[in-house]
Amino acid sequence: MQDFQGDGTVKLDTFSGQVDEVAKFYHWNELETCCQACAHLRGTALAYVWCALFPPHTWEKLKALLMKHFQPVDLTAKYKMQFRSHRRHQTEDIYTYVELFSVLLI
């Protein structure tokens, strides 16, 4: 099962499908599936779930929470998500960084 970071490297649908397949194979209940899925969250996705007002205790609630925040419905939402989750890399110069933000802001 791949890790889900919320930055677009792994699509949420792909991650969700993998969790469902593994849960079915190992006969996990909702709580076990939720715990295993949380173990594969990284980065922005992990921080978002940790900061949730009411943390989910079932896989369906966790999936709904992730889809609400990380599933872009159109290009505008996709760019907003990229804008919120982008971090400047040390090897990235400031001009490239500003150029990326100008593209995402439009």
Same domain for 62 and 91, yes or no, is no
pLDDT of residue 22: 95
State the angle between helix axes of 75-85 and 43-50 in degrees (0 to 180), rounded to the nearest 10: 90
Same domain for 23 and 38, yes or no, is yes
Same domain for 13 and 65, yes or no, is yes
Q: 68-99 pLDDT, tens per residue?
A: 888 765 666 667 777 777 776 778 788 887 78
Q: pTM value?
A: 0.66
pLDDT above 70 covers a percentage of the chain that reads 89
pLDDT of residue 4: 92
Same domain for 14 and 62, yes or no, is yes
Tokens of 49: 């779930």
Same domain for 48 and 81, yes or no, is no
Burial class (CB in 10 A: 0-12, 13-18, 19+), 29: exposed
Average pLDDT across the chain, whole number? 84
Same domain for 81 and 57, yes or no, is no
Same domain for 56 and 4, yes or no, is yes
Domain that holds residue 77: 72-106
Number of domains making up the chain: 2
